[in-house]
Amino acid sequence: MTYGEGTPIKRTIRRQQLREMVPLADSTIYEMEQRGEFPRRFALSPRCVVWDLAEVEAWLASRRSAPIARAQPPDVRQRRSRPVQAPGLAQAAASKAG
């Protein structure tokens, strides 16, 4: 059995097994697949999709060897609802009110 570029597939895993290996949400995995950042699923039947276990394991190994920078926290001052003022402005407003 081969898939894609003629690479032999030895073992496939279904969604539940993938969830046990990769603790990401289904939507995150789907988006990463679309961007080419995660191994692509393929259909065995109209109702059954699987992933190549070797590709998933290789992806996990690559993630471990190349750390990913953490996302920056959101700038809460740019929120439309409940914007947070800069510390100096909040103290000035409190002193004027008092």
Residue 67 — very low, low, confident or very high, per pLDDT cuts 50/70/90? confident
Q: Give tens-digit pLDDT for 7-32.
A: 677 899 999 999 999 999 999 999 99
Q: Give tens-digit pLDDT for 75-90.
A: 877 877 776 766 665 5
* pLDDT at 56 > cutoff 90: yes
- Contact call for residues 17 and 49 (beta carbons, < 8 A): no
Is residue 51 exposed (0-12), middle (13-18) or buried (19+ Cβ within 10 Å)? buried
| pLDDT for residue 97 | 59
